[in-house]
Amino acid sequence: MEKDIILPRHIGIIMDGNGRWAKRKHLPRTAGHIQGAKTFKKCARHCADLGIECVTFYAFSTENWKRPKEEVDAIMKLFSEYLDIALDIAGDEIAIRVIGDPEPLSDNLRKKLDNVVAQTAKNTGMICNMAINYGGRDDIVRAAKKIAEKGIQTGDINEESFSQLLDTAGLPDVDLIIRPSGEQRLSNFLIWQAAYAEYVFMDVLWPDFKDSDLDRAIEEYSSRNRRFGGV
């Protein structure tokens, strides 16, 4: 990568295009998800090596339950492997976190998520955040429910305090959102947190996403002029 690059503190990655990758190879969609998990491993490692503070991987949206049951089941099974992979690369360096509503997930998966998060909680390197059953709107609705449940007064509600009720509490806002697969939309990912994010859309399908694609996206980010509404 070029010198003098401005690194984003928080990168969000929409891991999209697994199904199309498999279709092109005349394989079942599940094969794309398996290959996607491998890309996840390489990409998380590369982010940590670059010195990124936090990266959030969009793995399953609140809308992805609409898919055929066999595909959803296969993806849920893969998450267990994703977590093993995540734990493997985490070592004593990376902290694994999870965002999204764990409620509809199986007991086994929930236990595993809790374990992995607890096992890596003391790590002070990069935060590797997995968005599983995550929806930006759902994140905001759950935050609003917390306000009602805790009886928080209107005078105490502001952008800062509201942010701390979201799943990403304590994390910096996402600076760069990368979406491979050619689609140019957010698909309900981090909609609050991305208020001033830079977007990089790429034609590569997620299973083919290389370290050099990440470098390219970061270089593009670094070349943008972020104004945050100022001049």
- Tell me if residue 16 is catalytic: yes
Kindly name the residue from 16, 139, 167, 213 that is annotated as catalytic: 16
Round to whole Å and give the CA distance between 78 and 87. 14
**What does 61 interact with, of Mg ion, ligand IPE, none (CB < 5 to 8 A by kind)?**
ligand IPE
**What does 56 interact with, of Mg ion, ligand IPE, none (CB < 5 to 8 A by kind)?**
none
Neighbour tally for 133: CB within 10 Å: 22
Kindly name the residue from 4, 49, 64, 225 that is annotated as catalytic: 64
Nearer to Mg ion, 16 or 198 (CB): 16
Residue 128 and residue 46 in contact, taking contact as beta carbons nearer than 8 Å: no
Q: Which residues pair with 229 in a beta bridge?
A: none
Binding positions for ligand IPE, rule: CB under 6 A: 14-20, 58-61, 64, 75, 181, 183, 185, 187
Which segments of 91-227 does DSSP mark as H helices, in order?
Answer: 107-120, 136-150, 159-163, 211-223
CB of 103 to Mg ion, least distance (A): 23
Residue 57 and residue 36 in contact, taking contact as beta carbons nearer than 8 Å: no
Residue showing the smallest CB distance to Mg ion in the complex? 16
Nearer to ligand IPE, 25 or 224 (CB): 25
Task: Give the closest residue to 123 by CA, choosing from 166, 87, 175.
Answer: 87
Active-site residues, by number, are 16, 64
Interface contacts to Mg ion, rule CB under 5 A: 16
